[in-house]
Chains A and B, each alone.
Chain A
Amino acid sequence: MMADFLPKGQQLPIVATLADKQQESPGIYTLHLAMDTDSSFDFAFGQFNMLYLLGLGEVPISIMGWQQNLLLHTIRAVGRVTQPLVALNIGAQLGLRGPFGQGWPLHQLEGQDLVFITAGLGCAPVVAAINYAVNHRKKYGQIVILQGVKHHNDLLWQPQYECWRDLGNCQVLLAASEEKKRKYHWRLGMVTELLALARFDANHCAVLMCGPEIMMLAALKQLAKHQVSDKSVYLSLERNFQCGHGSCGHCQLGPYFVCKDGPVFHYPQIKSWFGLAGV
């Protein structure tokens, strides 16, 4: 006899059905998943799920959003599981465990300016947070969205950025690092260089970052130059997540299990460990 059962949805997957699929850019798709459960799927923006394909295994994917009772996951097809995941046909079923980890502390940040800094697919874990902030515009001060990509057509959800700019009364700044010719609304260069153009109160802001660590390290230097203190910064990290709840040991960063203590960390908490080679 088993003394206990695996909590469904947390340790034992629940069934999700692919209701819709959108290609965002070459190799990047958003899956819209219908959940085989009566209860609503509660999650915090910035958390992730483990998605499972029969016989292939699981991959951790951040939660991009919740729309019309469907869970959204944006996935880059690069690995053994992600390639067949994005190739699924509508109606196909997969397994899902989650949500796991700590999300962005949006409620704590009310009243402050919000600065979102993302690069590449790093925008996925903050999209839902941006949407929330834009939809609750009065709760926050200035909203600044900085996003960097290699080429301008790598930008996911371009209409969404236009919408945020127009309807959200947000400052949206985009940078393309490998583009030859500048396009309207775009800067040539790195996302971190956009900070010089951003309008926000350095003494009364929260910075929410997600993307390659090298980008976040560069951004931290720029933020310091703009007198933004460490305690204003939150960042989302990526590590090898296998169990999702701090049991398997793979995702450790110093004394932290990134899957359960993160992936969103308050920067001062991890400052002494972040960016060290081999940690």
Chain B
Amino acid sequence: MDKGFLPRQQFPELYQALTKAGYEVIGPTVKDGAIVFSPLAGFEQLPTGWKEQTSPGRYQLEQTAGQRCFYWNTGPQALKPWLFKPEQPLWQAEQTADGLCFRQTPEQVQPRAFIGLRGCDLAALKIHDQHFLKGVFTDPYYQAQRQQLFIIAVNCARSASTCFCVSTGDGPTATFGFDMLLDELEEGFLVASGSDQGELIMQQLPLANTKKKQISEAKQQLQSATQQQRVMPDEQQLLKLVDRLEHPQWQDVAERCLACGNCTLVCPTCFCSKQESHSDVKGQQADQVRLWDSCFSEQHSYIVGKVFRPEISQRYRQWLTHKLATWQQQFDRSGCVGCGRCISWCPVGIDLVEEAQALLKSEADDG
């Protein structure tokens, strides 16, 4: 992949090129003490100098002296809410003089360029593509948003203490699914294209030739990002979780877990949803709406007369065994991309990796 160098002072020209090409630019910005993806009025809104400190149950932004815009790793969410929306009207029903009518809810879409997505985010996107585009039916709402995406990925220059993408094989390098790829250095960016559309944008940038020193610096910082403290057991090991359904660890975690569902909401691959009918006051018209849901909710497994998972231990077990083990049978890979969001955004600091290790370690102990 040929790379060019874009000096930092000329970085805003990327924004100009994207808007000129008709994209709404969505990128990271600091909001409410976290990195949040929002429409950007300009690159000055990028989180310059910010990095995050994370640990189980903790996410804290810190200002650094540097000028980097992508020195953080994750925010609570990246792409998921833009494609699989928290609230998605699906269809409308109306009682008319001619009888009951059903119609698909129309939706406006526009070309959007996302800047700042990481390897873990792209791995999660690939999983959601598989679920929403290649399931029994294509989800037209997801598809409409997905088709007009332009993705500018960034290789991570460091890892947060909750990251474990190296062990899931999803980072810190972005290797697929992008239109452009950046490596951020102090003085500017190494830029590469990953598609014809990316090439078109790249041609409009005042790129200089890369220097050996820049290539080596990018390689070095990527190398340092691979130094991660948490290691998720490999997929073959994780499959054994389904043999541990009666393990006392489930009860142990249930005593800490609040069943709040935060882990499922920040997870970039969780796809559970529920449907509600929202009616007008006259009862003549109603919207069928899809809303994010969580397997931590007691109602999630409810049918008339029975809740299949009444205990928190059973709901945590459902989440973890699905995400790490049975997901593999459904999608040919684990549902975990190593972003660590579920760890830092858990209000009581439950660490997915530690729980998986504890469940599997005991298996080895049991011989």
Residues of A within 8 A of B (CB): 1-7, 10-15, 52, 54-58, 78-79, 82, 93-95, 238-240, 242-243, 245-250, 252, 254-255, 257, 260, 272, 276-279
Q: Which 6 A-B pairs have the closest CB atoms?
A: A278-B314, A55-B279, A249-B272, A255-B329, A4-B140, A245-B136
* Bound complex: CA A5 to CA B275 (Å): 19
Is B367 on the interface with A (CB-CB < 8 A)? no
Partner of B109, one of A1, A82, A95: A1
User: Which of A4, A79, A243 makes the CB contact (< 8 A) with B138?
Assistant: A4
A15, A55, A260 — most chain B CB neighbours (10 Å) = A55
The answer, yes or no, to whether B176 is at the interface (CB within 8 Å) is no
- A94–B95 CA distance with the chains assembled, in angstroms: 10
Q: How far, in Å, is B27 (CB) from chain A's closest CB?
A: 25
Bound: A13/B104 CA distance, A: 10
Contact of B90 among A3, A6, A55 (CB under 8 A): A6
Contacts of A52 in B (CB 8 A): 93, 277, 288
- Specify which of B136, B311, B326 lies most central, judged by the most chain A CB atoms within 10 Å of its CB: B136
Chain B 213-257 per-residue mask, 1 if CB under 8 angstroms from chain A, else 0: 000000000000000000000000000001001000000000000
Could you tell me if A246 and B135 are in contact, using CB atoms closer than 8 angstroms? yes
Q: Mark B59-97, 1 if CB is under 8 A from A, else 0.
A: 000000000000000000000000000000011010100
| Interface residues, chain B, with chain A CB atoms under 8 Å away | 90-91, 93, 95, 99-104, 106-107, 109, 131-132, 135-140, 143-144, 147, 242, 245, 271-277, 279, 283, 286, 288, 290, 293, 295, 300-305, 308-311, 313-314, 317-318, 322, 326, 329-330
Please measure, in the bound complex, the distance between the C-alpha atom of A239 and the C-alpha atom of B101, giving whole angstroms.
29
Q: Pick from B100, B132, B137: contact of A93, CB below 8 A.
A: B100
Secondary structure type dominating chain B contacts: mixed
Name the residue in A54, A56, A95 with the highest tally of chain B Cβ atoms < 10 Å from its Cβ: A54
In contact, A240 and B302 (Cβ under 8 angstroms): yes
Flag if A15 contacts B102 (CB, 8 Å): yes
Pair A93/B91 contact, Cβ less than 8 Å: no
- B91 lies within 8 A of A55 (CB): no
Given A14-B102, A55-B286, A93-B100; A250-B144 close (CB under 8 Å): no
**Bound CA span A13–B288, Å:** 11
CB contacts between A and B, total, < 8 Å: 141
Known: A13-B93, A239-B303, A278-B313. A3 touches B140 (CB 8 A): yes
Least Cβ–Cβ distance between B78 and chain A, in angstroms: 20
**Can you spell out 12 A-B residue pairs with CB atoms less than 8 angstroms apart?**
A2-B106, A2-B140, A10-B137, A57-B277, A58-B277, A243-B275, A248-B272, A250-B293, A250-B300, A276-B245, A277-B314, A278-B309
- Would you call A250 and B274 a contact (CB within 8 A)? yes
Question: Is the pair B275, A248 in contact by a Cβ cutoff of 8 Å?
Answer: yes
Assembled-state Cα–Cα distance A78/B91 (Å): 26
Contacts of B242 in A (CB 8 A): 254, 272
Check A55–B304 contact: CB distance below 8 A. Answer: no
Instruction: Given the known inter-chain contacts A12-B102, A247-B132, please indicate yes or no for A54 contacting B95, CB distance below 8 A.
Output: yes
Asked if residues B305 and A78 are in contact (CB atoms below 8 Å), the reply is: yes
Q: Are A255 and B326 in contact (CB under 8 A)?
A: yes
Cβ of A12: which chain B residues have Cβ within 8 Å of it?
A: 91, 102-104
Specify which chain A residues have a CB less than 8 angstroms from the CB of B135 in the assembled complex: 245-247
Residues of B within 8 A of A4 (CB): 138, 140, 143-144
Q: Give Cα A12 to B104, complex, Å.
A: 7
- Additional A-B contact list (5), CB under 8 Å, known A7-B137, A12-B102, A240-B308: A247-B136, A250-B272, A250-B274, A278-B313, A278-B317
**Cross-chain contact A252 with B91 (CB below 8 angstroms):** no
Could you tell me if A95 and B140 are in contact, using CB atoms closer than 8 angstroms? no
Q: Are B93 and A247 in contact (CB under 8 A)?
A: no
How far does the Cβ of B137 sit from chain A's closest Cβ, in whole Å? 6
Contact A11 B283 (CB under 8 A): no
How distant is B216 from chain A, measured CB to nearest CB, in Å?
Answer: 44
Q: How far is the CA of A13 from the CA of B100 in the complex (A)?
A: 10
CB distance from B122 to the nearest CB of A (A): 21
Residue of A whose beta carbon sits closest to that of B92: A12
Shortest CB distance B294–A (Å): 9
Assembled-state Cα–Cα distance A278/B279 (Å): 34
Task: Tell me whether A240 and B311 are in contact (CB under 8 A).
Answer: no
Query: Which residues of B sit under 8 angstroms from A248, Cβ to Cβ?
Result: 272-275, 290, 293
A95 touches B147 (CB 8 A): no
How close is B341's CB to chain A, nearest CB, in angstroms?
Answer: 18
CB B295 to nearest CB in A, in angstroms, measures: 7
Task: Please indicate the chain A residues that have their CB under 8 angstroms from the CB of B279 in the complex.
Answer: 54-56
Q: Is the CB of B277 within 8 A of A56?
A: yes
Residue in A7, A238, A249 whose beta carbon sits within 8 Å of that of B271 in the complex? A249
Residue among B272, B275, B290, B304 making CB contact with A79, cutoff 8 Å: B304
Contact indicator B147/A252 (Cβ below 8 Å) = no
Tell me the minimal C-beta distance from B320 to chain A in angstroms: 13
Identity of the chain B residue whose Cβ is nearest the Cβ of A14 in the assembled complex = B102
Bound complex: CA of A7 vs CA of B274, how far in Å? 19
Give the one of A11, A14, A95 with max B CB within 10 A.
Answer: A11
The smallest C-beta distance from B166 to any residue of chain A, in angstroms, reads 26
Q: Is the CB of B308 within 8 A of A239?
A: yes
Q: How far is the CA of A276 from the CA of B311 in the complex (A)?
A: 13
